[in-house]
Structure 1
Amino acid sequence: MSSDTVISVRNIGKTFRIASTQHRATTLAELVAQKLRKPFTRHSRETEFEALHDVSFEVDRGEVLGIIGRNGAGKSTLLKILSQITPPTRGEIDLHGRVGALLEVGTGFHPELTGRENIYLNGAILGMNRREIDREFDSIVAFAETEQFLDVPVKRYSSGMYVRLAFSVAAHLRPDILIVDEVLAVGDLAFQRKCLGKMGEIAREEGRAVLLVSHNAAAVRALCERAILLDRGRVVHDGEVNDVLRSYLDIEPSGAAVLTWTETNAPREGGFRYRSVAVLNSRGEPASVLSHDEPFTIRLEYELDRPLPGLRVGFLMQTTEGVEVCGSNDVHVADEETRQPGRKFSECRFPAHLLNEGRYQLRFGADVPHGPVYILTPYCLEFSVEDHERHGESRYRLPGVLRPALHWAIDSTSPAIG
């Protein structure tokens, strides 16, 4: 470990014990019923789940480290250990300096306190005195763009407003180590770019360490020179960012063609809730692998609790390398200016012979401009396009994202141009 090392992780592991009982009593009646059943049931057993296994790495001052891996790889558990929210089961961690963490919407702020009060509360938690917080206060508010809501309890903030203020607090209160999870994905695109720029500034100009977890390959590539890849709780690759991203694409499956949210984890805001999203092939069937020469459909299922005038529902698409492809919404085809309560579907149809062979990711949004709804999910659905046609004498992938069926002609009689 060098004198510039601010994070040293040595062979840490985390094991969770999971009880075999399926239901925990929440009412007096359920508790009495469980007590009565106890003599007739076997003793409950516990199983162990190893979320992290012998994880080791170091991060130096001024370094931005990307942490990538599929869902369930152990990324969130690792960040919670580094943020000292939960201890490791074994192994050692040395952290040199104050840690600022932005892990998920809802953590770090007290919902009953105002934005102003939470700024001072977070500063105090980081060990700063009031004078130090005062010095950064105006910069925090200006960066978050929440001036008019400073004296409103944060429980009334939208998820986007919450994240803007939470990131600004974490970035400006000068932690020696800044840890940022995929939570930034709920903010708007302009603010996400602003946050990425700020993280780069924190590392380059202020010499602080940044740990970034993201499924956005372009963001990881732009900010990080080094990354680590987690798979099933182990570090399987630690090295130059492009090499690690290639390894990630090798182990990441093409993904399911349908994503369904539960009542508890569905993206929701202001009376709008997503239910499911899907990629459908030319036969209307969910498909994670499409042929280049067939049309396909992106279908969004959602529910409204109340009338929402001006609602727009749509998606953004990128390649798995982070190259933006397109975005679209249904605002121009809505049957009614004010969508009424109930369950609805919006579908976007793509023609055949459009996308090139490759892998693509989708994120989904919904908003009412200047209104109560703003949702932008992480990239959460993935599909592949395969091209079985031959290009001339050999089989190779043409460059670019698009592969349209263009019409050519050869004519020796056309007049010269110019």
Structure 2
Amino acid sequence: MSKDIILKAENISKQYRLGQVGTGTLSHDLNRWWHQIRGKENPYLKIGDVNDRSTKGSSDYVWALQDINFEVERGEVLGIIGKNGAGKSTLLKILSKVTAPTTGSIKSRGRIASLLEVGTGFNGEMTGRENIFLNGAILGMTKKEIASKLDEIIDFSGCERYIDTPVKRYSSGMTVRLAFAVAAFLEPEILVIDEVLAVGDAEFQKKAIGKMQDISREGGRTVLFVSHNMAAVRSLCTKGILLENGKIVFEGGIEPLLNLYLKSNQNRNYWKGEDGDKSMRLLNTEIYNELRSKNLKNTDLIHIVLKFEIGEKFKDIVIGATICTPTGNPIVGLLYNDYNNLNEILPGTYEVIFTIPSCSLATGDYEIEFNLSIPFVKKYTCEKSNLSFAITAESDYGNRFYVENSLFLNSIIRPNWFNSINKIN
């Protein structure tokens, strides 16, 4: 059976010039034109650094995207994930035809509706109602078609009281609500959603994800979804691509995609103290379940591993970890507390394992902040040693532990959290 391809990206690359806009570009434009009339290749396509925002390059040109190729079938929900600066938003802008690629082409069948930034496509001086008709006209719909969907759009957005107020007076959350409702209900064949849903509140995010599931499964329409919320990507998307430094490093199923992404977050350059300081060094951090998989369910027994090396004898060190929300709010503090073993710790390589019992963490995204330090003297961990991970629900279990624990209102329930330390050599 032949595939029903609705969107195809072929050899997409996007190059940008760094620095202030307009500085020295006239000579480059003339050079490009001179090469073009002689039938030669653009000379600036042969230069440029890889899109790595954390390093200083040697060229004024950078490749935000390089050689991007993929196909999307009708009815698929494609998740696009990657670190900040990986090229996700640039790719969506090209797919939405907001900007043109430097090389390559986009082939699509049908209307594309985009929700890339708060207020994209809205006129701030016009009312919410007027903007609905404006956006519908841009999508190629008639006034009658828009009017037939108007009540549904307003009801879904939850902005009925302000629908005849200029959009410039809306909060960012209200603007996103209305923009998403317009994009979803005016029935484009391809819906492109960037991270903007994170601006909305929890209730709206849940409604928006449910609506995207409905339009893909029941309406047979295609959704391209960029998010740092791994739980949302897992529940919504049917396949995905992982971008790294402007290149696709993986394309395929959601579970292997998220495993690879979470693993890539753990390949960090650890801070090893000041130059010449070998008294204590952080070597590695890791998180996995009993099967040594990084695809963590809320029913898994979870192991958090901290490996470090000590170059001299210490009488007192702190070994701990804090589980936080993505915004940095601490939830659980873990501390190695068997001080009989740490009363005098000898030089060598050690591995501390913190074990979290099953059904102790709710579904969602988390971050671990590690603490390896000499009290009141020096800390040997920093942000580079932090780990990101996601907890998803077991299909037949969900977050049931909340219900079970709520039955014991007159007792204090403390899960049996424990830890261990092992000297490797």
Q: TM-score, normalised by structure 1?
A: 0.60
Amino acid across the alignment from 1:192: Q
Q: Does 1:113 align with 2:126?
A: yes
What's the CA shift for 1:321?
6.2
Amino acid across the alignment from 2:97: Q
Distance 1:46 1:255, change over 3 A: closer
Match of 2:248 among 235, 249, 253: 235
What's the CA shift for 1:322?
9.4
| Equivalence map 1:2-81=2 (5 Å) | 2-19=2-19, 47-81=60-94
Q: The residue matched to 1:363 in structure 2 has which SS? A: coil
CA–CA distance in structure 2, aligned partners of residues 191 and 13 of structure 1: 35
What's the CA shift for 1:47?
1.1
CA–CA distance in structure 1, aligned partners of residues 324 and 184 of structure 2: 32
Q: Does 1:180 align with 2:144?
A: no
Name the structure 2 match of 1:285: none
What's the CA shift for 1:10?
1.1
Q: Does 1:219 align with 2:232?
A: yes
Q: Does 1:93 align with 2:57?
A: no
Q: Deviation above 3 Å: which 4+ runs of structure 1?
A: 19-24, 253-256, 319-323, 352-355, 381-390, 394-408
Distance 1:382 1:121, change over 3 A: farther
Name the structure 1 match of 2:157: 144
What's the CA shift for 1:107?
1.3
What's the CA shift for 1:396?
7.6
Q: Is the 1:217–1:321 Cα contact (8 Å) retained in structure 2?
A: no
Amino acid across the alignment from 2:203: A
Name the structure 2 match of 1:362: 326
What's the CA shift for 1:363?
3.1
What's the CA shift for 1:190?
0.7
What's the CA shift for 1:21?
8.1
| Equivalence map 1:234-383=2 (5 Å) | 234-252=247-265, 360-363=324-327
Question: Which 5+ residue runs of structure 2 have no aligned equivalent?
Answer: 25-57, 270-283, 287-293, 299-318, 339-351, 362-413, 419-425
Q: Is the 1:254–1:382 Cα contact (8 Å) retained in structure 2?
A: no
Q: Is the 1:254–1:384 Cα contact (8 Å) retained in structure 2?
A: no
CA-atom RMSD, angstroms? Answer: 3.9
What's the CA shift for 1:361?
4.0
Amino acid across the alignment from 2:143: R
CA–CA distance in structure 2, aligned partners of residues 17 and 203 of structure 1: 38
Amino acid across the alignment from 1:400: S
Name the structure 2 match of 1:199: 212
CA–CA distance in structure 1, aligned partners of residues 221 and 297 of structure 2: 26
CA–CA distance in structure 2, aligned partners of residues 201 and 111 of structure 1: 30
Amino acid across the alignment from 1:133: I
The CA deviation string for residues 232-282 of structure 1, in whole angstroms up to 9 with x for no partner, is 0000011110100111112225999xxxxxxxxxxxxxxxxxxxxxxxxxx
Name the structure 1 match of 2:312: none
What's the CA shift for 1:406?
5.0
CA–CA distance in structure 1, aligned partners of residues 321 and 297 of structure 2: 19
Amino acid across the alignment from 1:11: N
What's the CA shift for 1:93?
1.1
Q: Does 1:162 align with 2:175?
A: yes
Q: Is the 2:357–2:416 Cα contact (8 Å) retained in structure 1?
A: no
Name the structure 2 match of 1:316: none
Amino acid across the alignment from 1:193: K
Quick one: percent identity of the two aligned structures? 48
The CA deviation string for residues 156-182 of structure 1, in whole angstroms up to 9 with x for no partner, is 001111111000000001100000011
Name the structure 2 match of 1:42: none
Name the structure 1 match of 2:358: 400
Q: Is the 1:17–1:49 Cα contact (8 Å) retained in structure 2?
A: yes
What's the CA shift for 1:106?
2.5
CA–CA distance in structure 1, aligned partners of residues 205 and 61 of structure 2: 38
Q: Is the 2:356–2:417 Cα contact (8 Å) retained in structure 1?
A: no
Name the structure 2 match of 1:411: none
Q: Is the 1:114–1:153 Cα contact (8 Å) retained in structure 2?
A: yes
Amino acid across the alignment from 1:363: T
CA–CA distance in structure 1, aligned partners of residues 164 and 68 of structure 2: 43
What's the CA shift for 1:91?
1.0
Amino acid across the alignment from 2:13: G
Amino acid across the alignment from 1:208: R
CA–CA distance in structure 1, aligned partners of residues 145 and 415 of structure 2: 61
Name the structure 1 match of 2:274: none
Q: The residue matched to 1:128 in structure 2 has which SS? A: coil
Q: The residue matched to 1:207 in structure 2 has which SS? A: coil
CA–CA distance in structure 1, aligned partners of residues 226 and 121 of structure 2: 18
